[in-house]
Amino acid sequence: MNIRQKMIACGAISVIAAALLGGVGYWGQMRLAEVLAASEVSVSALRNHLEGDMMHDALRADVLAAFVAQPGDTDAANQVRADLAEHSERFQRLLADNASLPLNQDIRTAIADLEPALVSYIREANSIIDQALADPQAARAKMAEFTRSFEDLEEKNETLSELLEQNAADIRQGGAVTISQATWLMLAGILLVCLLLGLLTSHLMKTVLRPLGKTIAVARAIAQGNLRSAIQIESNDEAGQLQQSLADMQNYLRQMIETIRHESEQLQSTAQHLSGASQSIVHSSREESDNATSMAAAMEQMIQNIAQIADHARNAQDISSQSEQLASSGGQVILGVVDGMSRISEAVNESSDTITALGQSSEEIHSIIQVINSIAEQTNLLALNAAIEAARAGEAGRGFAVVADEVRNLAARTAQSTQEITGMIERIRNSTAQAVNSMQAGVTRVNDGVNLARQAGESISEIRGGAQRAASVVEEISHTIGEQSKASSEVAQRVEQIARMSQQNSQTVGELAAAAQRLDSVARSMQNSVLQFQT
């Protein structure tokens, strides 16, 4: 039964109880009305009887008044007769009135027995008054018979009086019993209604107010953050449905708080991890910026070294030109070897010195090329580190990765060019070594004659060709070094861009670290808020 049905039942029972009390009151009122009507009849009958008893004595007084009246006193006689007639009529009327009242059968029988005695008594009174007014002495002789009629009527009158008094007493007793019954019924009805209302109130408190009180206590506990209170479903009515809904809400809140707590813990852990990673990225970005700055300085140094290499290449080109000129002069000398062996010896010595200088220049060029190769390898390593750091930086380092890749390609091209130059220089060194050996052989054999001079001429021709090739190679080296210088300048610009991007990345990552710290603070605050709930 739901609360609505219980309330309807309570109202219906209250109406029934009120109707019951009204019925009991109506029954008591009707009984009291009956008792009052009976009492009124009894009082009227008793009053009429008392008045009739007075008329009984009044008739006797009228008879005695007739004896007192003087003979011949017409007025007194008329007055006596008038009083007698009035009292007789009144006595009979009162008796008739009582006979017409709804009295019990005993009283009605007593009234019926009284009527003949009354008629006889009135007749005796009229007779004795007539005689007393005419002959008082003769009338006195009949007084004994009149007295017997009087006493007989009085006896019957007393019997009727006893019956009327008993009837009044019975009516009074019945009225008291009726009042007592009505009172007890009313009290019993009130007690029954109070008992029913008490049981209904107790039932409603047990089935409605008590579950509502428990529900309110649980709701207050939930409002204070306690989600551990057990909710017992005690009925299937609206209170039970409310408890079930509150239990469902408690379970949902518990699951939601557990989810928020778990996610806040994950958020806090992620924020701490992100903060640590941001700090690490800031440190790495600073190192990357420093490395980029160092790389820029190294590129400046490499550009200066390349400029020096270009200068040396130009010197080598000049030396190669001079070697070619000297070789031409040597050929002319050999053509006139017969005329001046001594000048050949001197020319050979000068050529030997020149070729020796060329070998030294080749050694210097070789050293420079090794420096360039080292710089290219270092540039390649720096570009590789930059690409790795760019990959770690993610989307923010994509442009930096492209620049690092271009730097690595340029470093590879530089390494390849230096290897080619190294090969050329090695050939130059071999040629110059051969030339030196040939010149030394020519110096030692200059005294051997024309054959040795011819051999020296051939050697000089070879030297001339080698010098030309050396000049060509040196020219190519100079051109390559010019391109390398341009590429190095571009690399330096890109490295400067990388340094600026590294600084920007460092600033961005610093902002990211600050945001991660704020996120960690928010996660801690959320965690503290969630911990207020007891699940």
Distance CA 21, CA 190 (A): 7
243 contacts 234 by C-beta, under 8 angstroms: yes
How does the average pLDDT of the chain come out, rounded? 77
Whole-number percent of the chain with pLDDT over 90: 2
The DSSP secondary structure of 384-440, one letter per residue, reads: HHHHHHHHHHGGGGHHHHHHHHHHHHHHHHHHHHHHHHHHHHHHHHHHHHHHHHHHH
Identify the CATH number of the domain defined by range 279-525: 1.10.287
At residue 90, the pLDDT reads: 92
Q: Is residue 405 scored above 90 in pLDDT? A: no
Taking only the tens place, the pLDDT of each residue in 89-111 is: 999 999 899 889 888 898 889 88
> Would you list the domain boundaries of the chain?
3-204, 279-525
Helix axis angle, 238-335 relative to 3-68, nearest 10°? Answer: 160
Average pLDDT over residues 164-189: 85
Q: Is residue 317 scored above 90 in pLDDT? A: no
At residue 400, the pLDDT reads: 64
Q: Is residue 163 scored above 80 in pLDDT? A: yes
Distance CA 121, CA 147 (A): 9
Average pLDDT over residues 430-446: 70
At residue 288, the pLDDT reads: 64
Residue with the bigger pLDDT between 484 and 155: it is 155
* Two tokens, residue 354: 């020149």
**Closest Cα partner for 436 from 362, 508, 353, 368?**
353
Q: Class for domain 3-204, per CATH?
A: mainly alpha
Q: Is residue 453 scored above 70 in pLDDT? A: no
At residue 289, the pLDDT reads: 66
At residue 89, the pLDDT reads: 93
407 contacts 491 by C-beta, under 8 angstroms: yes
Residue with the bigger pLDDT between 479 and 169: it is 169
Average pLDDT over residues 504-523: 73
Average pLDDT over residues 350-370: 71
127 contacts 142 by C-beta, under 8 angstroms: yes
Taking only the tens place, the pLDDT of each residue in 466-507 is: 657 756 765 776 677 677 767 667 766 776 777 677 677 667
Identify the band that residue 460 occupies on the pLDDT scale cut at 50, 70 and 90: low
Q: Is residue 62 scored above 70 in pLDDT? A: yes
* Two tokens, residue 345: 């010896």
Distance CA 454, CA 462 (A): 12
Identify the band that residue 86 occupies on the pLDDT scale cut at 50, 70 and 90: very high
What is the C-alpha end-to-end distance of the chain, expressed in Å? 34
Average pLDDT over residues 185-191: 87
Residue with the bigger pLDDT between 37 and 57: it is 57
327 contacts 461 by C-beta, under 8 angstroms: yes
Considering the entire predicted model, what is its pTM? 0.37
**Secondary structure of residue 237 in the 3-state scheme:** coil
Taking only the tens place, the pLDDT of each residue in 220-271 is: 877 777 777 777 776 677 767 777 787 788 788 778 877 877 777 787 777 6
Phi, psi of 371 (to 5 degrees): -65, -45
Taking only the tens place, the pLDDT of each residue in 259-316 is: 877 777 787 777 677 677 667 766 766 776 676 677 667 667 766 766 776 676 577 5
Taking only the tens place, the pLDDT of each residue in 24-46 is: 778 878 877 877 787 788 888 88
At residue 310, the pLDDT reads: 65
